[in-house]
Homo-oligomer: A and B are copies of this chain.
Amino acid sequence: MVVYHRVTAEELYRFAHDVFAAAGATEATADALADNLTQGELHGMGSHGVSRLMPIYVQRLQAKGTNPDPQITLLKRHKSTAILDGDGGAGALVARHGMGLAIDIAKEEGSGWVAVRNSSHYGAAFITARMALEHDMIGFSTTASVPLQPPHGGRERALGTNPLCWCIPGGEHGDIIFDMATSVVAKGKLLLAIMEGKPIPEGWALDEKGYPTTDPVVGDKGVMLPLGGYKGYGLALIAEILASILTDAEFGPHINNLYGDITLPQKTGHFLGAIDVSSFMPPERFRARIDELVSFMRSIPLAPGHEEILIPGEPERRKAEEYGRDGIPIAEDVLASHNAIAEGLGVEPLQVLD
């Protein structure tokens, strides 16, 4: 049995912020990391939240594998494009800078495209991409990550589950936030099956010899499978090219694992974009037409076994509303281990609601 406590988003942010600051992060890094992980947790993405990521982020900051005080540098700007060097800083901070730059560029140029190198694990892709929305812009974000997937037809790890994320400004029905891993499922779902002692469906993973497996422990040692075979492989490859090659960052096996040698920088790349809707039409008209498109999708009759047509990002938005109202659940063992980290750093423990 797992017991969950509940915590407010404000308190979770306070706690994570203070922990990161005590681990040596500057205010900018502590704020970016705490906000990123709190938002991940609030949206029901524990795999991209405080629960999973705070401990390893703290260790990396302390070991200087993540630079706690990076000098993020604009290496080049050419009209609608730019190259940013993250100086080994926290991905949440570097990506925030990168997306801010893409937005600033798009205000002038109609679109902005920022290639980021020397960064690290940036959490959930949507957290930075959605920064574009309040500026009436479409946001795009992709990152490379440590290899977990083979190319289609292979049996060894070659490509990350590299996400592709687009955020679209909407109207009354809300924004569209589409953030997908290019594998059939994110690795977190396989890890959850291990924790719960449940089998996984065939098609999620291969064993080390390249045969399909329904045993998550075996799959964990093998490879995750790309979405739809060669299509997911192609999408992951395009993400890798934008994030690792066009940025002149490291690719695939040359990226240092988040959980590997924590004294080494990860050397991850991201590719971030913003398209200013007002270059194409008045944003109010765009948002109204998105509403029309959403209404049409929702009007489609259901297939048997389905209860609702959802819009990308809607499940996470509902989760954030629920958790924002009732508090964010934190498992008891996570609470204990995280408070132990905080205690070691002289930080006040996480104050739970119940």
Contacts and interface: CB of A to CB of B under 8 A. Distances in A.
Contacts of A238: 166, 168, 178
A293 B113 contact: no
B293 A152 contact: no
Contacts of A231: 180, 227
22 contacts: A76-B280, A79-B109, A79-B110, A80-B80, A81-B111, A111-B111, A153-B309, A154-B302, A155-B302, A156-B300, A168-B238, A176-B237, A178-B238, A180-B234, A180-B235, A240-B293, A241-B290, A246-B280, A246-B286, A248-B281, A248-B289, A251-B296
Contact of A306 (B113, B153, B237): B153
What is the size category of the interface that chain A forms with chain B?
A: 35 or more
A292 B210 CA distance: 24
A332 to B, nearest CB: 32
Copies of this chain, complex-wide, total 2
A179 to B, nearest CB: 9
Interface in A166-202: 166, 168, 176, 178, 180, 184
5 residue pairs, one from A and one from B, having the closest CB atoms: A210-B303, A81-B110, A153-B306, A154-B300, A80-B80
A253 B113 contact: no
A277 interface: yes
B248 A312 contact: no
